[in-house]
Chains A and B, each alone.
Chain A
Amino acid sequence: MLNALTLSTRPLSAWEAPIAERSTPAPGTEAPLARDLAGAEDATLLGWAAAGDRRAFDQLAVRHLPLLYRVALRITGRPAEAEEVAQEAMLRLWQNAAKFDPTRAQLGSWLYRITANLAIDRTRRTRFQPLAEAEAAPDPAPGPEAVLDARQRRALLAAALQELPPRQRAALALSYDQGLSGAEAAAALSISTRALEGLLRRARHFLSARLRGEEE
């Protein structure tokens, strides 16, 4: 106690600044363990990750992995492959973290583009596996759609999705599942907005007809 009082009243040396005059570290320059990862924006986290902060990158993974998984799952139809694709996309982000310029591209769009391309490449190597109802797909006999219950609809949809080209599935994943604008989804697929609309139109037209039990 006495020591503490002595220390607190000791006159400051020439190189010491009073506490009130000491500058606080600018955002991003504080010690990595003191960083507010949960409250930081993506661009800030990426900047920290580029400097080697793996905890910041883990926070980015927590935020984006569920979304990337859903995009990959819509395109590949296989949960295991969707997991691998989402992880691969995040690893690509780590490798390019220092080169990524948030002022020129949005992180989410960049990740979606990488994920969609990886997933499309995989579906070209392996056959698309429809989601949960793949094994239980009923005979798509024509019938009024009002009669179809939700389970049958899902099964019909799963079977119909199997027949869509991967790029149409990617367009559905980005535009409907992720709710990207037309421009964002088109940029992620490196196509024009008009081409994206064509993909969506053909996909929906086909799926809608199959839900009604019609052959395209």
Chain B
Amino acid sequence: MPMRMDDFARLLDTHGADPARWPPETVPAARALLEASAPARALLERARILDEALRDSLPGPSPEALARMRAGVAQAVARAPLPAATAGGGVLHWLRPWLPAGCGALITLAACGFWLSSAPQPAPDDTLGAPRVLAMMDTHE
């Protein structure tokens, strides 16, 4: 199916002038249009100019800039802790923003209090058991 001019313009606007970047299924129709149409060739030339201008407009980092960045990363990494596989871990990781500092100690304190209050109290008789038994033994003798 032949390619229309507006489809070709859209192709260039999306992928640029390099046919290597065009979707493979569009290449044969685009090439056929280029052979047959001077306006299509003008569009391609216009896209090529933009590609070239874009390519020329972006310098890479100078060796000095690259050295600065590398040193900056090395310094930051030297100060940073080792990578952690699980930062905080599981539920605690998600709860952390909502938990105030010291809440762990409070929870532990509350648990101890609950445990002490719920533990079975020794019967009053048991606290004086041994002397009473001794006294009873004395009476039998």
Question: In the complex, A82 Cα to B12 Cα: how many Å?
Answer: 29
The distance in angstroms between the C-alpha atoms of A153 and B49, with both chains bound, is 9
Query: Given A98-B84, A154-B56, are A145 and B73 also a contact pair (CB < 8 Å)?
Result: no
Q: Does B38 contact A (CB under 8 A)?
A: no
Range of interface residues on B (Cβ < 8 Å): 35 or more
Mark interface residues in A81-115 (1 if CB within 8 Å of B CB, else 0).
01100110011001111110000000000000000
Q: A87-B69, A94-B83, A201-B14 are in contact. Are A207 and B60 (CB under 8 A)?
A: no
Complex interface: chain A residues within 8 A of B7 (CB): none
Neighbour of B74 across the interface among A61, A208, A212, CB < 8 A: A61
Q: Is the interface of A mostly helix, strand, loop or mixed?
A: helix
A174 on the interface (CB 8 Å rule)? no
Report the Cα distance A87→B61, complex, angstroms: 13
Instruction: Give the distance in Å from the alpha carbon of A50 to the alpha carbon of B80 in the complex.
Output: 13
Contact with A along B40-73 (1 / 0, CB 8 A): 0000001101110111111111000110111011
A132 close to chain B: CB less than 8 A: yes
Query: With A and B bound together, what is the CA distance between A57 and B73 in angstroms?
Result: 9
Task: Give me 5 other A-B pairs in contact (C-beta within 8 A), A61-B74, A207-B54 excluded.
Answer: A54-B74, A61-B73, A94-B73, A98-B85, A208-B13
**A-binding residues in B (CB < 8 A):** 10, 12-16, 46-47, 49-51, 53-61, 65-66, 68-70, 72-74, 76-78, 80, 82-87
Could you tell me which A residues sit within 8 Å of B by CB distance?
49-50, 52, 54, 57-58, 61-62, 65-66, 69-70, 73-74, 79, 82-83, 86-87, 90-91, 94-99, 131-132, 145, 150, 153-154, 156-158, 161, 172, 176-177, 197, 200-201, 204-205, 207-208, 211-212
Q: What would be 16 A-B contacts, judged by CB atoms less than 8 Å apart? A: A49-B83, A50-B83, A57-B77, A58-B74, A61-B74, A87-B72, A87-B73, A91-B76, A91-B80, A94-B77, A99-B85, A99-B87, A176-B51, A201-B10, A207-B50, A208-B50
